[in-house]
Amino acid sequence: MSGEVNIKRLAQELNISIATVSKALNDSHEISLKTKKRVWDLAKALNYTPNPAASNLRSNKTKTIAVIVPFIANNFFALAIKGIEEIARKFSHHVLIYQTHEDIEMEMSFTNSLLNGRVDGILTSVSSSEYNGTYYKNLVKKIPLVFFDRVYKDLDAYNVTTDDYEISYEATTHLIECGCSKIAYLYGLENLPAGNARFLGYKDAMQKNGLTVSDELVINYCEDESQNLTQITQLIDRHGPDALFSSIEEFVIPTYTACRALKLKIPDEIKIISFSNQATAQLLDPSLTTITQPAFEIGREAATCLFKMLNKKGFGDDQDIVLKSTLVKRGSTGC
């Protein structure tokens, strides 16, 4: 036999299947050591050179990637993970999920436990409790890693995010066009670029329209859920806003609950908008106007990025992928 030495040729010479040769070259546990040795010896003897893509794939030994998120009960993250899994399945990788509950110690401890070859790469959406840039600055040198949604902008890393500023600006403008002028802001993710961009979009839209952004109309998210209900109730009670702009999904239930308790009619007496990927948004009473992030697509994009890194395909220069969110107008703004 002569000509190109490829997997097919190795299979023919050894009288075994192409799949077996491929698995043997990938050092798969499914193949006996004896068979592997036969394949490796012949490959060496015939001076077999794997094509670059196959060779790079071979280095991904765990066939597993990890995705680290603050919460899985959040609809955005549940959908993003679904997107990640779709891509991982294409590359025959399992997806480990880990939730940090916004706890930076847990996040670092778990991430560190992954460094010893436990997974091929990591997709992460960082905790909002504090800024942890130094840790990640070192980490991105140690393992293929892609940030999605909650990112650190100043690192040499790939980030997949959404147009937080633009969509917040658009949503605030919608409230103003519906006649609102005293728009309260429920602030989440204040330690992260995403949170800051959302707030800035709101602020700029207010100022552009000659409206005041007052500190007393802004509250910050508390981990203690009952505290959020109390805060929102007090805000409405004391300052009588005509709209609530909720920058994270977690504010939706306390917001509706507060309005009910205060017997405020939505949208007649108060209008509500929230960032949310809740499938039940349309079934709420009244249906909720949402800023819907392309969560599934973010997961897909982030995973695609990671597999490009793993397979050493390169990306070009742009490390920032920004996807567009959608303002879905429903009953809670009602105009």
Distance CA 93, CA 79 (A): 18
Task: Report whether 65 contacts 122 (CB < 8 A).
Answer: yes
Considering only 37, 61, 90, 118, the residue that binds a copy of itself (CB under 8 A) is 118
Determine the interface stretch with a copy of itself among 3-11, 130-138, 273-281, 319-327 (rule: CB under 8 A).
Answer: 273-281
Considering only 109, 207, 214, 326, the residue that binds a copy of itself (CB under 8 A) is 109
Q: Is 19 a binder of a copy of itself (CB under 8 A)?
A: no
Distance CA 197, CA 76 (A): 18
Size of interface with a copy of itself, in residues (CB under 8 A): 36
Closest CB 280 distance from a copy of itself, rounded Å: 5
Query: What's the CA dihedral at 199, 321, 148, 156 to 10 degrees?
Result: -100
- Bridge partner residues of 124 (DSSP): 68, 147
Residue whose tokens read 């025959």? 92
Distance CA 271, CA 165 (A): 21
Task: Report whether 92 contacts 63 (CB < 8 A).
Answer: yes
Residue 183 or 284: the one with the smaller Cβ distance to a copy of itself is 284
Residue 2 or 116: the one with the smaller Cβ distance to a copy of itself is 116
Residue 164 or 249: the one with the smaller Cβ distance to a copy of itself is 249
Considering only 40, 91, 98, 131, the residue that binds a copy of itself (CB under 8 A) is 98
Distance CA 148, CA 70 (A): 12
Distance CA 145, CA 139 (A): 8
Q: Is 266 a binder of a copy of itself (CB under 8 A)?
A: no
Q: Is 75 a binder of a copy of itself (CB under 8 A)?
A: yes
Q: Is 56 a binder of a copy of itself (CB under 8 A)?
A: no
Which residues of the shown chain bind a copy of itself in the complex (CB under 8 A)?
Answer: 29, 63-64, 72-73, 75, 78-79, 81-82, 85, 94-99, 101, 106, 109-110, 113, 116, 118, 252-253, 256-257, 278-280, 283-287
